Amino acid sequence: MRDEVLAWLAPRPGGVYVDATIGAGGHAEAILRRIAPGGRLIGIDRDAEALAIAARRLAPYAASVTLRHANFTAIRQIVAEAGVETVDGIVMDLGASSLQFDAPERGFSFSRPGPLDMRMDRSQPTTAADLINGLPERELANLIHRYGEERFARRIARAIVRRRPIHTTTALADAVSAAIPRRAWPRGLHPATRTFQALRIATNHELDDLERALPDAVGALRGGGRLCVITFHSLEDRILKHTYLRLSRGCTCPPGSPLCTCGGRRWLRVLTRRPLTPSPSEIAANPRARSAKLRVAERLVDPAVHGSRFPDAPEAGQPCADPTLPTVSPDVVSPAPGLRRLTVRTRSGARPREGRRR
């Protein structure tokens, strides 16, 4: 969705932009063409191999590019270290890249045999094989159901445990396929697709990292700067949608309260009421783009802080929000069949966790 990203990002000459998932550098190269002369691009990726490819591709623009091998959860720190206070726009293209899917040794795809690796950053210690062979059956079922939205999660986990140890992508795909009744195989989709998605998300902490990174990305934008995020499955899109909604409505006090006590402040204007999807021609040229969704938001200029950095604790005492605005309550996937939800308190608040039904 390169054309759509460029249209909504609207890069201008002399501007400063961040590609937080630079991959092979396709979006970055297109942005660099439009911000010359005098523009600057900061590229981030947790995959060192992809970053090396991007560096070669962007070599003609080397004077205008800063590349960092890092997780995009560190986006504000990276922007500050680059000597920039705020940027004009940020792009995030989530999920695994074609470079990762097409390399059998990376273990992202079941189409060819390879090790069960799935690490985007190969310097991290935990692989997908560690999860498959080390987790108890109950936790494995919860993982597959939560991150893959797989209704046969318990059967799949049981089949995996019976066949352990499993060390290759094809062996895992065979175990998953055997666990799902043939009549229930999804039409046009390999039966192991959801399980592989779940393992990849868990191995790389993708959803947790996205929840952490989005507010910091908004904080790194100047007033009028835009955040363009492409998601590829409902779990990512749900987090993005609710973050945009939360930051665009500000106050979350109950309707009718005379004063705001939550301290919420409106930071975003959502530009895409509904997500943009690829055109039929793009899907024909790249079938992997069929599930892509693009959502765009714009950072508001806050008169109280004059566009300053995103605060950790906004001031309370403001008039309450419009009572007609909807309540934000994040959607949570229900537990796998036969399991009940437990609530565990963490530093960041209450989070759902699944356990066995008693």
- Can you give the residue ranges of every domain in the chain? 2-98+206-299, 104-204
pLDDT one digit per residue (tens) for the chain, 358 residues:
899 999 999 999 999 999 999 999 999 999 999 999 999 999 999 999 999 999 999 999 999 999 999 999 999 999 999 999 999 999 999 999 888 999 999 999 998 899 999 999 999 999 999 999 999 999 999 999 999 999 999 999 999 999 999 999 999 999 999 999 999 998 888 999 999 999 999 999 999 999 999 999 999 999 999 999 999 999 999 999 999 999 998 777 777 777 777 767 789 999 998 999 998 888 888 888 888 999 999 999 864 543 344 444 333 334 333 333 333 333 333 344 444 333 434 444 444 444 444 3
Contacts of 351 (CB under 8 A, 6+ apart): 343, 344
CA distances from residue 11 to 149, 161, 227, 306, 309 in whole angstroms, order as listed: 37, 51, 12, 22, 21
pLDDT for 256 equals 75
Amino acid residing at 166: I
Residues 141 and 339: beta-carbon distance below 8 Å:
yes
Instruction: Please tell me the predicted confidence (pLDDT) of residue 152.
Output: 97
Q: How far apart are CA 9 and CA 89, in angstroms?
A: 6
pLDDT of residue 285: 87
What was the pLDDT predicted at 1? 87
Q: Distance between CA atoms of 352 and 321, rounded to whole angstroms?
A: 28
Long-range contacts of 57-65 (CB under 8 A, 24+ apart): 57/24, 57/25, 57/29, 58/25, 58/28, 58/29, 58/32, 61/29, 61/32, 61/36, 64/32, 64/35, 64/36, 64/39, 64/40, 65/28, 65/32, 65/40, 65/41
Nearest in space to 272 (alpha carbons), one of 302, 307, 245, 232: 245
**CA–CA separation, 114 and 124 (whole Å):** 18
Please report, for residues 9, 108, 116, 117, 179, the alpha-carbon distance to residue 105 in angstroms, rounded to integers and kept in the order given.
Answer: 35, 8, 8, 8, 25
d(CA 119, CA 208): 15
- For residue 319, what pLDDT is reported? 39
DSSP 231: E
CA distance 269 to 300: 7
The dotted CATH code for 104-204 is 1.10.150.170
Cα separation, 214 vs 25, whole angstroms:
21
Residue 146 near residue 198 (C-beta atoms within 8 A): yes
The backbone torsions φ and ψ at residue 41, rounded to the nearest 5 degrees and listed phi first, read: -125, 135
Cis peptide before 37 (omega within 30 of 0): yes
Q: Does domain 2-98+206-299 have CATH number 3.40.50.150?
A: yes
Nearest to 220 by CA among 21, 71, 17, 55: 17
